[in-house]
């Protein structure tokens, strides 16, 4: 199940619940226009993916999106609008995947939490992040 997190009719995040682990083959969760493309792949023994290269493409990216892969624990995600006003919170658990596309956010670990964060680079903390 994918939770589409919206604000003013715009998708600001996705929470991909852990039941994706039951899927087979290639499963993209994100729309092709999103800044991050997230897929889960589950192939049987002997399956091969044809050798390939990715073509060089110039992309203009505005903003930074993030993907969190929750390895263990439970995390509360607080969302904020561009005026830094709290909107609402969502919960992610072990094996969930969180795709943060836009809007402000903060995290509170509700249980000891291990997760992987992926975002496009290069990353410049002072230039890319506005803490409040």
What sections of the chain are H helices per DSSP? 125-128
Instruction: Look at residue 30 and tell me if it is in a domain.
Output: yes
Question: pLDDT tens-digit profile of 102-132?
Answer: 999 999 999 999 999 999 888 888 888 889 9
Instruction: Look at residue 92 and tell me if it is in a domain.
Output: yes
Question: pLDDT tens-digit profile of 26-51?
Answer: 999 999 888 889 999 999 999 999 99
CATH number, domain containing residue 34 = 2.60.120
Question: Structure tokens of 43?
Answer: 């192939």
Instruction: Look at residue 7 and tell me if it is in a domain.
Output: yes
3-class SS string, 58-74: CCCCCCCCEEEEEEEEE
**Do residues 67 and 119 lie in contact, with contact meaning Cβ atoms separated by under 8 Å?**
yes
**Do residues 11 and 5 lie in contact, with contact meaning Cβ atoms separated by under 8 Å?**
yes
Instruction: Look at residue 56 and tell me if it is in a domain.
Output: no
List all residues 6 or more positions away from 6 whose beta carbon is below 8 Å from its beta carbon: 12
Kindly report the backbone phi and psi dihedral angles of residue 113, in degrees, each rounded to the nearest multiple of 5, phi listed first: -130, 135
Question: pLDDT tens-digit profile of 61-87?
Answer: 888 899 999 999 999 999 999 999 999
Instruction: Look at residue 88 and tell me if it is in a domain.
Output: yes
Query: Which residue segment(s) compose the domain that 106 sits in?
Result: 2-41+61-121
Structural domain count, the chain: 1
Instruction: Look at residue 130 and tell me if it is in a domain.
Output: no
């Amino acid at each position: 199940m994918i939770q589409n997190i919206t604000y003013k009719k715009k998708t600001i995040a996705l929470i991909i619940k852990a039941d994706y682990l039951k899927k087979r083959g290639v499963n993209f969760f994100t729309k092709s226009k999103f800044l991050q493309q997230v897929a889960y792949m589950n192939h049987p023994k002997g399956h091969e993916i044809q050798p390939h290269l990715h073509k060089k493409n110039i992309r203009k990216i505005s903003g930074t999106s993030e993907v969190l892969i929750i390895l263990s624990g439970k995390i509360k995600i607080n969302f904020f609008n561009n005026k830094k006003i709290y909107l609402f919170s969502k919960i992610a658990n072990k094996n969930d995947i969180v795709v943060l596309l836009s809007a402000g956010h903060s995290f509170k670990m509700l249980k000891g939490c291990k997760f992987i964060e992926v975002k496009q680079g290069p990353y410049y903390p002072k230039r890319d992040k506005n803490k409040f």
